[in-house]
Amino acid sequence: MTSIMGSGPDLALIHGWGLGSWVWQAVLDRLSRNCRVHLIDLPGYARSPADGDARKTFPDFSATAQTLLDALPERTTLCGWSLGGLLAMRAAVLAPERVSGLVLVGSTPCFMQRADWQAAQTPALLGTFSASAQAQPEQTLQRFAALLSQGDARAREITRTLLAGLRKAPVPDGEALRCGLEWLREVDLRPLLPTLATRCLLIHGENDSLNPLAAAVGASRQLPNAQLDIFDGAGHVPFLANPERFARLLDDFCHAPVTA
């Protein structure tokens, strides 16, 4: 499900695991002044009857990325947060000619630790969330909200904002939650980074406890056309830690001249 607001260069906002498109609320007004914002809800989050079963509508990770592309105009900037950033990267690999730029927010190419990739999460964390999300989704998402702001200088305020949003939003479909955790466990896009020539802006919190800053630094060095902007004192949600700075960065990125 996608809603559109504003006018200007096309910009798609793709949320992460557990929290729907409402998570972008703090920056929507600012971004829609100069951009045509496509606010995307992944299947199972808006709970529209049209969403159907997440597993049937989007049979795998790459198909999900392709469906996102198909729903957007040509030359859209894809801004993905966390899991949404993984989907944005995959989409840009599938059809680079359709993507004007990539903005990766608190996102890295591989969420789970591997033998050669330690700046990531352990299988134990994902296992804990997988079990609890099926048994107690509401309580699990509340605990997740607190984890998102961990390490942020404005942690209490950000946690309150996220919890308030969770109370107002429909609980995501259980299959959508399970599917998203499976992607976080299995997807590893690191081998594709050198082929991803799309211009890219990485925005990362200095104290991100879910996707460590070291992983973003490493990814930025592998991407041929990337810049990294670090939000000092921020955790996993830099767009809530400093909404004005975040919106300004995206505005400048979307309006920057694109060289051939």
208 a catalytic residue: yes
116's CB contacts (< 8 A; 6+ apart) are none
Whether 82 sits among the annotated catalytic residues: the reply is yes
d(CA 249, CA 40) in angstroms, rounded, equals 20
Percent helix, strand and coil across the chain, each to the nearest 5: 50, 15, 35
Catalytic, out of 21, 32, 82, 220: 82
Between CA 254 and CA 12 the distance in angstroms is 11
Q: Are 145 and 166 in contact (CB under 8 A)?
A: yes
**Catalytic residue from among 51, 173, 208, 251:** 208
The catalytic residue among 15, 38, 204, 236 is 236
182-197 per-residue burial string, b: 16 or more CB within 10 A, e: under 16 = ebbeebebbeebeebe
Is residue 3 among the annotated active site residues? no
SS3 category, 54: helix
CA distance 143 to 148: 9
User: What positions carry a catalytic annotation?
Assistant: 82, 208, 236
